[in-house]
Amino acid sequence: MESLAELGYIEGAPTKAELAQVARNEGMAIKISNIANIVLFVVKLYLSISSRSLAVIASTLDSLLDLLSGFILWFTSNAMKKPNQYMYPIGKMRMQPVGIIVFASAMATLGVQILLESGQQLLSSSQSSLDHSNMNSIIGVMSSVTVVKFVLMIYCQCFKNEIVKAYAQDHFFDVITNSVGLATAILAISVSWWIDPLGAILIALYTMSNWAKTVLENVQSLVGKSAPPDYLAKLTCLVWNHHEEIKHIDTVRAYTFGFYYFVEVDIVLRGNMLLCESHDIGETLQMKLELLPEVERAFVHVDFEFTHKPEHKNTIG
């Protein structure tokens, strides 16, 4: 904020070439994650058929949803790269949280099915067909999958792109679910059969609870939640120091509209100021606000007094 207020630009901001390189690296991370998800799903599908472990099946369904999420995130990422100023005049950034919400809904649906199947097996006391001959294959496959997912999680966490972050979060979930699936399947073979459906229930509950939190976060980003007070204070400071002709600051709003903020600012200038002068002050302030990495759009309203009622339409809802 200080750099932007004093210099008019963000000191140390990446160049266009650096941003292009980051975009290529992010695209590579998405491709690697999608290819890994396909390979790991095929391997785990074979293991599920051969072992018939409910915990392994639950982990395999999670991998199936990885493919679904990969397609959704890939689709939204490519859609945002093709702007249409007539159909989408303010861009397509909202497609990211919408895609994640759709994926999370599918995750919850399959989680409920796993819960019902596992609960039915526990209540009916129907023992699974696990045996010791499957133990080596279960340990080998699930351990390898967990290691691969852990490496992908570390790799994707190096990026700031929200889509790549979603992949990192998904890989982290897989590390947990694969570890639980491996442990419960081995215990079911070695100790008692009921540990296997219990492990499937734990995996389903963990997956559903984590994606429920993700849904809430993305819903909040779509409904226009206000920025925290400290960020509003920094915006106010930036606006006040923008130009010496700014006499008052009537309103400073920042609210989510996707992963970024929309900012609304009302400033008060001299009543006898020329239109061209007030326009230049307002426009340069808008451009300065939109240089902030958290801000997608900024709107600056210029007025000559601040005693009137707010001009924005107020609705109760």
Domains observed in the chain: 11-220 (1.20.1510.10), 229-303 (3.30.70.1350)
Residue 92 CB: number of other CB atoms within 10 A?
17
DSSP H/E element including 285 = helix 275-290
Please check the confidence at residue 120 and state whether its pLDDT lies above 60: yes
Task: Give the per-residue pLDDT at 22.
Answer: 66
Q: What does the block give as tokens for 74?
A: 């890939």
Residue 53 has pLDDT above 80, yes or no: no
Q: How far, in Å, CA of 220 to CA of 23, rounded? A: 26
Q: Using 50, 70 and 90 to split pLDDT, how confident is the model at 73?
A: low
316 phi, psi to nearest 5 deg: -95, 125
128 confidence band (pLDDT: 50, 70, 90): low
Partners of 299 in the β-ladder:
264
pTM for the structure as a whole: 0.59
What distances in angstroms separate CA 9 from CA 263, 287, 289, one per listed residue? 18, 10, 10
- Model confidence band, residue 263 (pLDDT cutoffs 50, 70, 90): very high
Query: Which is higher by pLDDT, 146 or 258?
Result: 146
Please tell me whether residue 235 adopts helix, strand or coil conformation: helix
Give Cα 193 to chain centroid, integer Å. 38
pLDDT band of 1, cuts 50, 70, 90: low
In tens, the pLDDT along 146-177 reads 888 889 888 888 877 766 777 787 788 778 87
266 Cβ neighbours under 8 A, 6+ residues apart: 249, 250, 251, 252, 300, 301, 303, 306
Residue 232 in this model has a pLDDT that exceeds 90? yes
The answer to whether the CB of 197 falls within 8 A of the CB of 161 is no
Based on its alpha-carbon atoms, the radius of gyration of the chain, rounded to whole angstroms, reads 26
Q: What percent of the chain has pLDDT over 70?
A: 73
- Give 273-297 pLDDT, tens digit per residue: 999 999 999 999 999 999 888 888 8
Average pLDDT of the chain, as a whole number:
77
Q: How far is CA 215 from the centre of its chain?
A: 9
- In this prediction, residue 207 carries a pLDDT of 74
First to last CA, the chain: 33
Amino acid at 280: D
d(CA 248, CA 268) in angstroms, rounded, equals 5
Inform me whether the pLDDT recorded for 316 exceeds 60.
no
Beta-sheet strand order (sheet of 261-268):
248-256, 261-268, 295-303
